[in-house]
Amino acid sequence: MSSRVISGSLVDRATLASPFASSLRFASVTFGLALTAAAAQFTLPIPFTAVPFVLTPMAVLLTAAALGSRLGALTQVAYLAAGMIGLQVFAPSVVLPPGAARLLGPTGGYLMAYPVAAFLTGWLAERGWDRRYATSALAMVAGLAVIHTGGALWYTATVTHSLSVTLATSVFPFAGLDIAKILIASAVLPQAWRLLKN
């Protein structure tokens, strides 16, 4: 039995022989957008920072691993576009600006990093990183690093003007919880690949 890793994403593999592959991919992107928007609604404001705790990074990285680099990034571009035109897809907040202004607000760097993070995680998944738990987790951690880096740089430039203050208020308080979410999400893809093989 060959141990060669099949390249491509989970969605690529699932739609490979289907005459409805394009429609299924479109539906997958739409579902990914809806999942990201739903995850954003589970938010917890943190008193010492303008950055709320949300489930969105987990949804971004999980959908990216399933969809692959291009569709994963496209999903997040569509998510940002939906929020920019005023659809209620971003985390609800009385402090953060609505619509397109959210991208210029304190959390804009996190949001703008979503497509890049999705592309990276999806790219790694297409190369087989989503087939095993440990490498699936590493692919998502790589994407999470992109999100936190984009968010921290933007927050520093627009709010704190101090990287150490940003790290203390907007990265370190969330990193542990985000890693915990990834450890849970990382189990999904390897299991889905096992089901596809059966």
Q: What is the CATH number of the domain that holds 63?
A: 1.10.1760.20
- Examine residue 166 and state whether it is found in any structural domain, yes or no: yes
Specify whether the CB–CB gap between 35 and 59 falls below 8 A: yes
Q: How many residues does the chain have?
A: 198
> Looking at residues 120-133, what average pLDDT do you find?
96
**pLDDT grade for 6, boundaries at 50, 70 and 90:** low
Tell whether the model's pLDDT for residue 50 goes beyond 90.
no
* Per-residue model confidence (pLDDT) at position 46: 87
Residue 4 has pLDDT above 60, yes or no: no
Among candidate residues 135, 150, 149, the one with its CA nearest the CA of residue 182: 135
The closest alpha carbon to 89, from 159, 14, 35, belongs to: 35
Q: CA 75 to CA 63: how far, in whole Å?
A: 8
Q: Is there a domain that residue 176 lies in?
A: yes
Average pLDDT over residues 192-197: 85
User: Does residue 76 lie in a domain region?
Assistant: yes
CA angle 89, 186, 62 (to 5 degrees): 25
Q: What is the pLDDT of residues 142-157, one digit of tens each?
A: 999 999 999 999 999 9
Q: Is residue 34 part of a domain?
A: yes
The number of domains in the chain is: 1
Quote the pLDDT of residue 32: 97
85 found inside a domain: yes
In a domain, 80, yes or no: yes
Domain extent for 136: 13-197
The answer to the question of residue 7 being in a domain is: no
Q: What is the pTM of this model?
A: 0.93
**Residue 3, domain member (yes or no):** no
> How confident is the model at residue 2, as a pLDDT?
41
Q: How far apart are CA 40 and CA 127, in angstroms?
A: 28
Task: Assess whether pLDDT exceeds 90 at residue 133.
Answer: yes
> Residue 53 — φ and ψ, nearest 5°?
-80, 125
